[in-house]
């Protein structure tokens, strides 16, 4: 399948759609998921086109994983999490909904279940507050 440059994440990278950004470097962007499954749920994406892990370059994957690791540590610190769940889906049959490579970073606490996927849109002020918590937890 071909990459669609009009997908929602490509539009976020280009600044055509808003996002509550948490971290950005030359290759990747991390931002809050507007339909979080838990407090602090964010997404990490490459800034360059890749439909999913099946067509991403090793360079894109390495850049994403560096950011996933950095954001995971910050989220654990920011939310006092006991662990992190990383999710990544490929193609429709694999559960992918947005066809731009992305990794879900979900801070987890013992005994707290994840909410259902895409079940509610979070208030912008809550997303902004959670983004600030994570930003403050990033290493200087």
Residues labelled as active-site residues? 102
How far the first Cα of the chain sits from its last, in Å, is 40
Alpha helices in the chain (DSSP H): 8-13, 58-79, 124-137
The CA distance from 18 to 51, in Å, is 21
Q: What backbone phi and psi angles, to 5 degrees, belong to 115? A: -70, 165
């Amino acid at each position: 399948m071909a990459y669609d440059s009009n997908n929602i994440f490509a539009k976020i990278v280009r600044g055509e759609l808003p996002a509550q950004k948490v971290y950005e470097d030359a290759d990747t962007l991390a931002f809050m998921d507007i339909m979080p499954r838990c407090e602090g749920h964010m997404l990490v994406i490459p800034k360059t086109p890749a439909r999913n892990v099946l067509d991403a370059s090793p360079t894109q994957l390495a850049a994403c994983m560096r950011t996933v690791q950095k954001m995971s540590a910050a989220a654990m610190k920011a939310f006092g999490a006991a662990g992190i769940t990383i999710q990544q889906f490929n193609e429709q049959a694999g559960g992918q909904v947005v066809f731009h490579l992305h990794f879900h970073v979900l801070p987890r606490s013992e005994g707290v279940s994840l909410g259902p996927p895409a079940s509610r849109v979070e208030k912008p002020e809550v997303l902004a507050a959670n983004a600030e918590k994570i930003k403050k937890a990033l290493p200087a």
